[in-house]
Structure 1
Amino acid sequence: MRTITRVEHTMERWAATVWSAVRRPRNRPIEVVSVLRRECDLNALILGRDRVLVPNHFTIELPYASHRRLAEHGPALGPELAAQVRGYAAERRYSFTGPVSVHLSPLPGDSEVRYRVRSRIAPGEPEQPCGDEMTRLLPLPPEPF
């Protein structure tokens, strides 16, 4: 039970840190997960009746000060956001070309932008079948007499 409580408190701290990092005074904070979901919906490629391909690589660009505050949580925050994207994709029956990744990076230069999300479809590593699997996938040619 203590472990669950600690995990919950850690997640609440991360969420509070993200909210404070990506908002300006008098502005409502952005909902990071909803921004990533919208990015999936806007960049979906319909490949067939049952196949919709969405981006699997996301970069959230934050102002330098916000990025610096979140840098210590970056290694744990990225996988948690990626899990949220995978869950949303499963609900919508979206598919990916490779593993989902979410990275935080600083915005280049001094800009008026609060944040920017970039997404792309990044190919994954193809799976190489080994010996027995290869013979199951590709039938052997008949032997000559």
Structure 2
Amino acid sequence: MGLIENFERRLERFVNGAFSKAFKSQIQPVEISSAIKAKMDAGAAVVDRERILAPNSYTVKLSQADYARLRPLGQDLVDDVKKQLLAHAKKQRYQFSGELVIEVEALSTLALGQLQVTASSVAAQISEVTWSPALDFGGKRYLLAKPRTTVGRDASADIQVNDSGLSRVHFAINWDGSSAILEDLGSTNGTKLAGRLVKSQTLPADSSIEAGRTVFVFRVIAKNEINA
């Protein structure tokens, strides 16, 4: 833990433009992951309320000696780095405008122990990202495809939940394409948002809704992530 964190702190000084750092020894996979994380953090941008869009395409350039040594790892190396980056993105609540892509190349002008990381610009893609609301509960995710989605224990609700603590049609989520409103529909036991009873309230992403004995989590996800 300390070794990785110290390494990442050293990397932060070099994320302006193309990343370049000389090491005294051969490049290790963990150093590639840390370099991309730093570049990801530097390129992340808030595009809508609490949603943060990070670059999704990275090119890592190594010295010819380091590239030749790591090349036999092939896709296993890329998959391991991706796994670490996706965990980092989840922790930071980053979202991507497309699939996470990592390419590793050799660059003859780099010396042993040097690497460069470049990230694709997402500025032109930001306006193309479509956001979709969803509810997570019971280990499943339910996409909210309508401008107004009702939740309750009765079949007349858009999302029927087997919970006797819920009213027949307990609450609704109203979505205008960019923001959501939580609305209690005169339920018997009330609807709580972040632990407080509400009648009608703006619904931020990742908020917890308590109704009956069920806890719902409201999500706002990039449309390309729905089938990921």
TM-score by length of 2: 0.40
Report which structure shows greater RCO (CA 8 Å, sep ≥6). Answer: 1
Q: Which has the larger radius of gyration?
A: 2
RMSD: 3.1
Partner of 1:6: none
Q: Which residue of 2 aligns with 1:53?
A: 53
Structure with the bigger percentage of strand: 2
Q: 3-state SS of the aligned residue for 1:99?
A: coil
What does 1:1-145 correspond to in 2, within 5 Å? Answer: 23-25=23-25, 31-107=31-107, 109-112=108-111, 114-121=114-121
1:75 and 1:49 map into 2 onto residues whose CA distance is 36
Q: What secondary structure sits across from 2:76 in the alignment?
A: helix
Structure 1 regions of 5+ residues with no counterpart?
A: 1-21, 127-135, 138-145
Cα displacement (A) at 1:28:
9.0
Structure 2 gaps of 5+ residues are: 1-21, 130-144, 147-228
Percent of aligned pairs with the same amino acid: 23
Q: 1:119 corresponds to which letter in structure 2? A: A
Contact 2:59–2:118 (Cα < 8 Å) also in 1: yes
Kept in 2: contact 1:74–1:104 (CA 8 A): no
Q: 1:104 to 1:28 in 2, by over 3 A?
A: closer
> What secondary structure does 1:115 align onto?
strand
Which letter does structure 1 place at the counterpart of 2:68?
R
Query: Structure 1: how far apart are the matches of 2:95 and 2:23?
Result: 31
1:60-83: per-residue Cα shift (whole Å, max 9, x none)? 100011101111112111111011
Residue in 2 aligned with 1:9?
none
Q: Distance in 2 between matches of 1:45 and 1:62?
A: 27
Q: How many matched pairs? A: 105
Which whole-Å deviations, capped at 9, do the CAs of 1:2-21 have from their partners, x for residues lacking one? xxxxxxxxxxxxxxxxxxxx
**Consecutive aligned runs of 4 or more in structure 1 exceeding 3 Å deviation:** 22-25, 27-30
Q: Which has the higher helix share?
A: 1
Distance 1:75 1:111 in 2: 23
Instruction: Name the CA distance, whole Å, in 2 between partners of 1:74 and 1:119.
Output: 21
Distance, in Å, in 1 between the alignment partners of 2:79 and 2:120 is 17
SS in 2 for 1:72: helix
Provide TM-score, normalisation by structure 1. Answer: 0.60
How much does 1:31 deviate?
Answer: 2.3
